[in-house]
Chain A
Amino acid sequence: MLSRLVFLSANSLRSSGLIGAGLVQASRSLQTSSQRLAPVPPLPEHGGKVRHGLIPEELFEFLYPKTGVTGPYMLGTGLIVYLLSKELYVINHETIYAICIGTIIVYGVKKYGATVAAFIDSINEEKVAKAQVAKDSHISFLTEAIENEKKEQWRVEGRGMLFDAKRNNVAMLLETNYRERQHMVTNEVKRRLDYQIALQHLNRRLQQEHMINWVEKNVISSITPQQEKESIAKCIADLKVLAKTTQAKAAA
């Protein structure tokens, strides 16, 4: 009786993983084949409904059509009265113990039941959350890895561009070289021709200067001292005339 009390009052706690797992293990052990059949349905969130923490609701539902709402209560009262009056249940000191301890237990469960259940659930929740986090991170890692592999494959497709660039470089270098050669040839030929022209000019100039010098030298050497005296006297006379005219001009 007491053990049944404890067992059924535990139903008022939300079914924690321990007892629920036990139930599922019981039903799982019936699937004895090595291949699993359809996956086991998930655990129910709440236990079966009970009234007054002891009596399942199914009894009330069962008796309602025949006896209405008060039926099960009358049944219970009658049963208790019958047991007491016929002394099928004897009232002794253990009854007092049962009443006291029962009161305390019911009071304790009613007051602290929810918090204890929440605490135990949180312990389990932590474990599950950690596993969930690990699973999620692994999934995201895998998707990223797949992305990266696809990206690397796309990258590899561009390898032709590198070789195109290299070949372009080579072609450009060849072209540059060829043009440089052309330019060099043209420049050299031009230089040679310009050199000839410069040479001619130089010759011309030297000839002219030489001729001028030779003419001058001859003229100077041909001036006899007689002519020189005469020309100097004439210059002096001219200068005197000039001086007079300028003096006259300045005075006037």
Chain B
Amino acid sequence: MSGRRAALKAIDWLAFAERVPSNQRVMFNALKTRTDAISAKLASLPETPPAIDWSYYRSAVAKAGLVDEFEKKFKALQIPEPVDTQTSKINAQEVEANKSALDFVEKSKVRVVEYEKELEKFKNMIPFDQMTIEDLNEAFPETKLDKVKYPYWPHKPIANL
């Protein structure tokens, strides 16, 4: 199957840290410390174990075929690779996260459109000192006085003055 050494993708932790929102910073720090511990452990182990000096052992050990036997068996030994159970789960998580991220971006775009519409309306309003009461009621419908419900001045309950 794929080679023993699945190439490690270089991660730019600085750029990653920039993108983390403040409410998830704790989780990000935990992830970083875990990753650092794992990579430190990996770096501390040399890639291949030191080779065994068979000729020395052949000369030193008196028993006849022992060293040869060991050497043969050792060279024939295949160390099984550890099985990868988590990558598929991570890929599934990633697919889900992509989906929810796209959802979020869609909703966010809708919100942005709304905000921009309101912003346009506010920016294009005539300045207040050129407005009349009718203009004001158009621009801000909440200022309109309900003359039907309260026919007498001040056209709103006294408590709201």
Q: Does B52 contact A (CB under 8 A)?
A: yes
Residue among A43, A173, A187, A197 making CB contact with B49, cutoff 8 Å: A187
Q: Mark B11-43, 1 if CB is under 8 A from A, else 0.
A: 110011011110000000001001100110110
Q: Does B55 contact A (CB under 8 A)?
A: no
CB within 8 Å: A-B pair count: 162
Q: Given A25-B132, A187-B49, does the pair A149, B112 have CB atoms closer than 8 Å?
A: yes
Q: Which residues in B have their C-beta under 8 angstroms from that of A149?
A: 108, 111-112, 115
Q: Which residues in B have their C-beta under 8 angstroms from that of A166?
A: 86, 90
Contact at B61–A197, with CB atoms within 8 Å?
yes
Q: Given A168-B11, A179-B45, does the pair A142, B122 have CB atoms closer than 8 Å?
A: yes
Q: Does B145 contact A (CB under 8 A)?
A: no
Closest to B117 in A: A142
Residue among A156, A168, A187 making CB contact with B101, cutoff 8 Å: A156
Count of interface residues, chain B, beta-carbon cutoff 8 Å: 71
Closest to A145 in B: B115
Q: Which residues in B have their C-beta under 8 angstroms from that of A158?
A: 15-16, 18-19
B-side binding surface: helix, strand, loop or mixed?
A: helix
CA distance A59 to B35 in the complex (A): 92
Contact at A150–B4, with CB atoms within 8 Å?
no
Within 8 A of A (CB), among B78-105: 79-82, 84, 86-87, 90-91, 93-94, 97-98, 101, 104-105
- Chain A nearest CB, measured from B80 CB (Å): 8
Contact at A176–B38, with CB atoms within 8 Å?
yes
Contact residues of B with A, CB < 8 Å? Answer: 4-6, 8-9, 11-12, 15-16, 18-21, 31, 34-35, 38-39, 41-42, 45-50, 52, 57, 60-63, 66-67, 70, 74, 77, 79-82, 84, 86-87, 90-91, 93-94, 97-98, 101, 104-105, 108-109, 111-112, 115-116, 118-119, 122-123, 125-126, 128-130, 132-134
